[in-house]
A and B are shown apart, each in its own frame.
Chain A
Amino acid sequence: MSGFEIIVEGFIKALQILFSGDQEILGITLLSLRVSLTATLLGAAFGIPLGFLVARKDFHGKSVITAVINTLMGLPPVVVGLVVYLFLSASGPLGFLRLLYTPEAMIIAQMILTFPIVCGITISAILSLNPKLKDTLASLSAPRSWEARVLLNESKLGLITAIIAAFGAAISEVGAIMMVGGNLLGYTRALTTAIMLYTNMGEFATAIALGIILLLIAFSVNLFLTYLQMRSRVRRTT
Chain B
Amino acid sequence: MSSQKHNQIFAVVVIAIVVATAALAYYGWPMGPQRLIIATTTSTVDSGLLDYLKPYFDNKFNVNMTWLYLGTGQALQVAASGDADVLLVHDRVREDAFVASGNGTLRVTVMYNDFIIIGPPNDPAGIAGENATDALLKISQAGHDGTTVFVSRGDGSGTNALENRLWKAAGVNTTGALWYESAGQGMAPTIRIANEHIGYTISDRATFLTLQSTMNTTLNLVVLCENDSALLNPYGILLLNPIKYFYIKSDLATDFLLFMVSPQGQSLINNYTINGKQLFFPVYGHPETIGLPSENATVNYLNSLLKSRGLE
Chain B residues contacting A201 (CB-CB under 8 Å) are 46, 188, 210-211, 214
Q: Is B275 an interface residue (CB 8 A)?
A: no
Q: Which of B64-72, B157-165, B197-205, B302-310 contacts A (4 or more CB under 8 A)?
A: B64-72
- Contact of A182 with B214 at beta-carbon distance under 8 Å, contacts A34-B24, A37-B21, A98-B247 already known: no
Query: Cβ of B24 and Cβ of A33 under 8 Å apart?
Result: yes
Q: How large is the interface on A (under 10, 10 to 19, 20 to 34, 35 or more residues)?
A: 35 or more
Chain B residues contacting A95 (CB-CB under 8 Å) are 82
Query: Cβ of A200 and Cβ of B81 under 8 Å apart?
Result: no
Chain B residues contacting A153 (CB-CB under 8 Å) are 7
Query: Cβ of B83 and Cβ of A100 under 8 Å apart?
Result: yes
Chain B residues contacting A232 (CB-CB under 8 Å) are 6, 10
Query: Cβ of A30 and Cβ of B81 under 8 Å apart?
Result: no
Q: Is A192 an interface residue (CB 8 A)?
A: no
Q: Is A230 an interface residue (CB 8 A)?
A: no
User: How near does chain A come to B286, taking the closest CB pair, in angstroms?
Assistant: 32
Query: Cβ of B82 and Cβ of A90 under 8 Å apart?
Result: yes
Query: Cβ of B46 and Cβ of A101 under 8 Å apart?
Result: no
User: How near does chain B come to A231, taking the closest CB pair, in angstroms?
Assistant: 7
Q: How large is the interface on B (under 10, 10 to 19, 20 to 34, 35 or more residues)?
A: 35 or more
* 25 A-B contact pairs sorted by A residue (CB < 8 Å): A1-B216, A3-B218, A34-B28, A37-B17, A38-B21, A41-B18, A90-B83, A91-B81, A91-B82, A95-B82, A98-B247, A100-B83, A101-B37, A182-B37, A183-B68, A184-B37, A186-B64, A187-B66, A200-B188, A201-B214, A202-B188, A202-B192, A202-B211, A202-B215, A232-B10
Further pairs besides A89-B83, A101-B83, A186-B66: 20, Cβ < 8 Å: A3-B218, A37-B24, A38-B25, A41-B18, A90-B82, A90-B245, A91-B81, A91-B82, A98-B247, A103-B29, A183-B69, A184-B37, A184-B68, A185-B66, A187-B64, A200-B46, A200-B186, A200-B188, A201-B214, A202-B192
